[in-house]
Chains A and B, each alone.
Chain A
């Protein structure tokens, strides 16, 4: 038996870089990978995801707006387009975040072995979760920023606080990216993935997007208020119309919890799947 000593490498001295078994502080390399891979994405799908809420704004806002006139929200009367635009802004953040964190994640998880490869390196499952969620959040932010420009062009940002809608949509995108990836990580088949779309559509239509929550009977209101999109819609609407209230902090809290829950479940699931 030959016993030669392996040379001492600088890695040994860098031990403090790692924290336990979950995290290596290098989520940025996962984001970098995602941006590089985006070069080969199907741009038609990406662009259509952005235009969807824009088309809603044009058709509903302008078309229906003529019939509806003004809507009362937060104690003030606003035009119908100005009422639905913030909701659609939240939706566009959601769409962007969901696009990456559901179908793309599903593909990488089930078919491309992307995460399996990542987890043979010094990355931990939290790095992968955080990196992938950040990537999804980035797409949500890009969609939403584009939509903000459209709103500005149509004069639908009614108050200076509309600028705060930017961090708000970031938060919303983060929440949906995080929860979206967590849910997707438990999905095994295409059919199950279709359920996600099946839940998203009614949530989009009924979360006080096109009319105030008060039209519903009380029990239904509770259901809507339990869903994430409603919180996003209310938060953004308050900011773009200038109808601020301290209760908006609850919406922020809702998203913070959603982000945390998503990260925890995603990390655990990645560990169970690829570090069994």
Chain B
């Protein structure tokens, strides 16, 4: 039994000389849930596609469940469940048939696949739409169907590329709950997301990726501890004045981040910093002290906010 189910070592993918993924290394342990965070174009989906054995790496090493995906594509894929960034459901088939046919691609016997499809429709809360055309489903329903489809072969590793994009809050929470349960059963999760609450909820460990390289790695809590302060003070002075005020209050807090609509002041005591600002005769339109989150780590590492 290998100690890790996914091992990437200096994994690289180039498109016409441009490195979309530029020498990243990571390990994912069995049953672990591992996240890839990064701004648009960071190389998350490209990494997911290589792990999913549908993209051939340019160089480096990759091992999935002890197998090289370049050499054993079908066998690797037989043990994966894949939720791609954009749905690729079979529009020519109805909802339930999508699950059945997909299961048949994995060689699941006809006698079993029907039962599985019904259970997964239940799971995705689509039982009443079993006979619908895929086209008639809402965006969120399609997403749920794609996720259900990824589970038809009882995958050992589930690859989720922005799984909850387009889902309403309730559906997201339901999905998180389902993912927890899969995790409890020993399924390994590899996921990308632009939602920091999702990453904090779901990931045991994550890497922040930018321009094809890993910027940081660790658990959400350890990353926040390492790359941010305990608290953050958010102040707004109106979009014209923010940058100018930032110069005036330079030196307040450990670090100041200027966003178009607000200033973020990093400090272990936000209220104290706010008092210093008002003492300097500056009156923010609004102010808020909150705990640091992954968003702040992200901002620090990539200079960009998580959701663009």
Contacts and interface: CB of A to CB of B under 8 A. Distances in A.
B249 interface: no
B77 A6 contact: no
A6 B5 contact: yes
8 contacts: A1-B29, A1-B205, A9-B156, A18-B75, A21-B70, A112-B92, A120-B52, A122-B78
Given A122-B105, A275-B54, A5 B31 contact: yes
Interface stretch (A31-39, A58-66, A92-100, A254-262): A31-39
Contacts, number: 125
Interface in A1-53: 1-7, 9, 11, 15, 17-18, 20-24, 26, 29-30, 32-33, 36-37, 40
Interface stretch (B35-43, B81-89, B191-199, B240-248): B81-89
B179 interface: no
Nearest to B146: A117
A36 B187 CA distance: 32
B102 A121 contact: yes
B76 to A, nearest CB: 9
A35 to B, nearest CB: 10
Interface of A: 1-7, 9, 11, 15, 17-18, 20-24, 26, 29-30, 32-33, 36-37, 40, 112-114, 116-124, 127, 274-276
Contacts of B54: 119-120, 274-275
B78 A11 contact: yes
Given A24-B107, A276-B56, A37 B92 contact: yes
Residue from B78, B82, B186 with most neighbouring chain A CB atoms (10 Å)? B78
B101 A33 contact: yes
A6 B30 contact: yes
A29 B105 contact: yes
Contacts of A113: 88
B101 to A, nearest CB: 5
Contact of B105 (A7, A21, A26, A274): A26
Q: Of B29, B185, B187, which is in contact with the most chain A CB atoms at under 10 Å from its CB?
A: B29
B73 interface: yes
B205 to A, nearest CB: 6
Interface of B: 1, 3, 5, 29-32, 52-56, 70-75, 77-79, 82, 84, 88-93, 97, 101-102, 104-107, 153-154, 156, 185-188, 204-205
Contact of B1 (A5, A9, A30, A276): A5
A13 to B, nearest CB: 12
A15 B75 CA distance: 7
Contact of B74 (A6, A18, A32): A18
Across chains A and B, which 5 residue pairs bring their CB atoms closest together, nearest first? A122-B78, A4-B31, A121-B105, A29-B104, A113-B88
Given A6-B5, A120-B84, A33 B71 contact: no
A9 B75 CA distance: 13
Nearest to B82: A120
Contacts of A11: 78-79, 156
B90 A6 contact: no
A3 B29 CA distance: 6
B1 A123 contact: no
B1 A26 contact: no
Contacts of A2: 29, 31-32, 204
A134 to B, nearest CB: 15
Contacts of A22: 73-74
Contact of B187 (A5, A6, A18, A124): A6
Contact of A1 (B32, B74, B93): B32
A260 to B, nearest CB: 22
Nearest to B87: A113
